[in-house]
Structure 1
């Protein structure tokens, strides 16, 4: 581990979490607890391995190493770790707004539904895409995440999105002359798994692109990737609706028609390209990022008036993305119903 990554004792972890008082999440690795460092101001999320977890030291080491070395504003960074006897824990910055999944499908404690505007959904998608693009092209050795989903996209107080959970991630050596690597086992989440990878065991960076396409479809529709007793897999029913030219039946009704139509059509088209059956037909993450930024600018121009539209047009795309973060922190369009 890099020297700047702090190692915590198990007793320190217990103190930080106030004896594991507050649970803020659960995953394949174990339970996630809220914690506060000894400065009494720095909040952290402590992911503690559960005895019942199928993930062990191998996944812990993979996540700890990748989280400490892959540094990007749209990737969750590692604060520290604990590896003491059978106690394994990873400490991350606390993401105040939880996961993207929470905002799409989870009813609030007050019994009311959280609703993200289309601008917010696009901003979150663009952020997450930039993090994924960095894993594929910005690291010394490209990294395939292998478990991209709305649950693993976390949100800061200002709704900046960060990709999390690198326990299943796989390095993709540059020297590899093939366009894929053969995985010893297929891992991922049902509904988000690349069907080509699932069928052949051949892992490609565009396996992540497929999973991200499912994320985009969930953002568009407000419907989970798989509805067990409903419409089945999201790609199949969206495809059938498109065959009937029924776009209105695809878009999340909670948006109440509040979106720029061209922006919506462009992202829907992009999502369907990402989820093509063959990896060769899917775009690279670099193109996905570029398309999402264009669609975001269209929505910004529609939603915040001519003055801001002109400001966006006179800045670079990356500047306009940052502008949106400032706006979204104060937007009243994150409503509850």
Structure 2
């Protein structure tokens, strides 16, 4: 037996395992260690008396857990006694269970050149079986499990497969692979069904920014934090540019995440993830259930009304109906519909019925008997009509306030009557228009004939001819305009896509009408002017016309989609956009109490409100910096950009506008081509040309908190030649934690003290 013997093979290889040797599960010292000490390979305990031969990071994280990056026998762990990894003279690496059957092998054919083969653990974390001529017979990089390491390639013949759970290392339901259209995708491969969910499945490849003209089908990760795929997809870590320990893992929850840490033993930090809205991951809650995500509490699954959980210990099995609904009782007398607003169940449509009233959609679902379990009803703004999508199954359900659509569940009326505060079939708002014969009256249109001269007849015929020609011209123009809209993608599919992403694409004419010609200005800044608007659905909105209109439509839409996916109770909600010609417009929710600056000036905020505003603003900024994983810097935190709702709930506005104005500057994540922000609130990093991080927002937030405490505007104080409010507070802070209460009481408040 060979126990961790060092053979200096090269600068990147160490602790070789030679032909004729073996490693035993019963000897903890039988471990291969890379020359740099970062990686180890040996028997890894995955359960009680259950082991897998694996590769892991030698130093555990701060949570005292070892991080495994590869396993040979994840589906068939071996016994904790008499199990061995052997390298016989034939050169075929074999793992045996309790001295009996072989559960895994490298499948390397026997030859004379293999007799002197060695098993080497390289500094990259790659375990390689190498001949004396340095030819690689087998390597772990060619058969990954759930993790990709820097320098390792994901190819057309390999895939990453998640673990079943954090403690069950066997293969799970989520996979990262190249599809048959040459696009890199995340797949939910469940026990019953499978479906792709990243990139967004309703998008065509080019709409998702991917190229199908991709013969190589290869994706790689480097140690600087760049993940790139040959389908033109690229992702950068939030700490991109620094040589760190990194790994990319398909997690048991279905997300693809990039982790990094500076030194061995440090905690792993998430620096990028593929899916920003966790509830959009397929299969996470199972059939007939809805996923909801609240940043404070995380993701939650719940059964839809009338359904019960199948297995209380496993949400992936979903829910089952607590009733029986057959064709015999699929009638208006026996069944009705329960409304679930803002809920989407992706896929499994029976068909699409266009231009339907709500009542006709209900009738169609009832006529389909047990083939229809409910329907999605939404307004097609492009066609000016309502469309109906009957559902064969209710899967991939999630709730989000930004989704523009409703689900109607078909349930027995006995169930409907027992649901609290749930409208029955008769109680739902009828969005259609039904016409009955008893309210239709034929009007009398009889006229007396009179004598008409020949000249009058000629003029009438001439007018009719000109009118007919005009109608023909108008119809022709309308036809070609509609065809042009179809060719540009403004059809039903795209509108459905915009609904699914929580956006509406407004026309410039529509927003001009909603703002009454952009007449009611409610705010302005460096980024643009904000107007009050009344949308067609009677919602009051804030419409911002961006001053920088040089950006292309594709880049603008890509960045708007990023901002629109940021969903937090302390961030202003984006409802839509306009990208028409040179117009670049954003549509936000309207905040009744205006900006924090206006409220501080009017002195209407008591201390309780000020405290809640400070806490809420901090939560919004923390989400931008750490939770949304897009590494969005606000760059202009000030009271004018903190808006207050009806109950004075704060919401941070104008976040990400620096990205909208110049996307290319964010590629470096460390420097900007120009100073951003408002004088008085700007961090020293801007002035001294230091690396720009989230600390610049934290500094600005600190000035806002001081302004909340004192009521003193730092910009006014600065220009009057007095001490900056930050300069007044800084010496007090340096005294130490023991004097915090004392220096807070000394801070001037409009001429006095707190």
TM-score by length of 2: 0.30
Kindly indicate whether the alpha-carbon contact (under 8 Å) linking 1:147 and 1:168 is maintained by their aligned counterparts in 2: no
Q: Report the alpha carbon displacement of residue 247 of structure 1 after superposing the two structures with TM.
A: 4.7
- Structure 2 distance, partners of 1:132, 1:149, is 12
Q: Secondary structure at the match of 2:657?
A: coil
- The residue that corresponds to 2:636 in the other structure is 147
Identify the match of residue 97 of structure 1 among 593, 602, 617: 593
Report whether the alignment pairs 1:123 with 2:123.
no
In structure 2, the CA distance between the partners of 1:83 and 1:55, relative to structure 1 (3 Å rule), is closer
Kindly indicate whether the alpha-carbon contact (under 8 Å) linking 2:550 and 2:582 is maintained by their aligned counterparts in 1: no
Report whether the alignment pairs 1:15 with 2:520.
no
Q: Secondary structure at the match of 2:747?
A: coil
Kindly indicate whether the alpha-carbon contact (under 8 Å) linking 2:746 and 2:753 is maintained by their aligned counterparts in 1: no
Q: How does 1:234-245 map to 2 (within 5 A)?
A: 234-239=725-730
Q: Secondary structure at the match of 2:498?
A: coil
- The residue that corresponds to 2:541 in the other structure is 44
Kindly indicate whether the alpha-carbon contact (under 8 Å) linking 2:747 and 2:753 is maintained by their aligned counterparts in 1: no
- Structure 1 distance, partners of 2:612, 2:653, is 17
Q: Report the alpha carbon displacement of residue 57 of structure 1 after superposing the two structures with TM.
A: 2.7
Q: How does 1:1-337 map to 2 (within 5 A)?
A: 3-4=498-499, 5-40=503-538, 42-49=539-546, 53=547, 56-57=550-551, 64-105=560-601, 113-165=602-654, 166-169=656-659, 181-226=670-715, 227=717, 228-239=719-730, 247-253=744-750
For structure 2, the residue ranges without an aligned partner over 5 or more in a row are 1-206, 208-496
In structure 2, the CA distance between the partners of 1:116 and 1:65, relative to structure 1 (3 Å rule), is same
Q: Deviations over 1:152-194 (max 9, x none)?
A: 11111111111110212599xxxx9x9x612233211111111
Structure showing the higher strand proportion among its residues: 2
Kindly indicate whether the alpha-carbon contact (under 8 Å) linking 2:635 and 2:658 is maintained by their aligned counterparts in 1: yes
Q: Secondary structure at the match of 1:219?
A: helix
In structure 2, the CA distance between the partners of 1:114 and 1:146, relative to structure 1 (3 Å rule), is same
Kindly indicate whether the alpha-carbon contact (under 8 Å) linking 1:115 and 1:254 is maintained by their aligned counterparts in 2: no
Greater RCO structure (CA 8 Å; 6+ sep): 1
Kindly indicate whether the alpha-carbon contact (under 8 Å) linking 1:135 and 1:144 is maintained by their aligned counterparts in 2: yes
In structure 2, the CA distance between the partners of 1:23 and 1:254, relative to structure 1 (3 Å rule), is farther
In structure 2, the CA distance between the partners of 1:215 and 1:60, relative to structure 1 (3 Å rule), is farther
In structure 2, the CA distance between the partners of 1:199 and 1:60, relative to structure 1 (3 Å rule), is farther
Kindly indicate whether the alpha-carbon contact (under 8 Å) linking 1:128 and 1:163 is maintained by their aligned counterparts in 2: yes
Once superposed, which parts of structure 1, at least 4 consecutive aligned residues long, lie more than 4 Å away? 58-63, 240-249, 253-257
Q: Report the alpha carbon displacement of residue 67 of structure 1 after superposing the two structures with TM.
A: 2.5
- Structure 2 distance, partners of 1:82, 1:88, is 6
Cα RMSD for the two superposed structures: 3.1
- Structure 1 distance, partners of 2:713, 2:549, is 25
Kindly indicate whether the alpha-carbon contact (under 8 Å) linking 1:30 and 1:48 is maintained by their aligned counterparts in 2: yes
Q: Secondary structure at the match of 1:182?
A: coil
In structure 2, the CA distance between the partners of 1:145 and 1:37, relative to structure 1 (3 Å rule), is same
Bigger CA radius of gyration: 2
For structure 1, the residue ranges without an aligned partner over 5 or more in a row are 106-112, 258-337
Structure showing the higher helix proportion among its residues: 1
TM-score by length of 1: 0.64
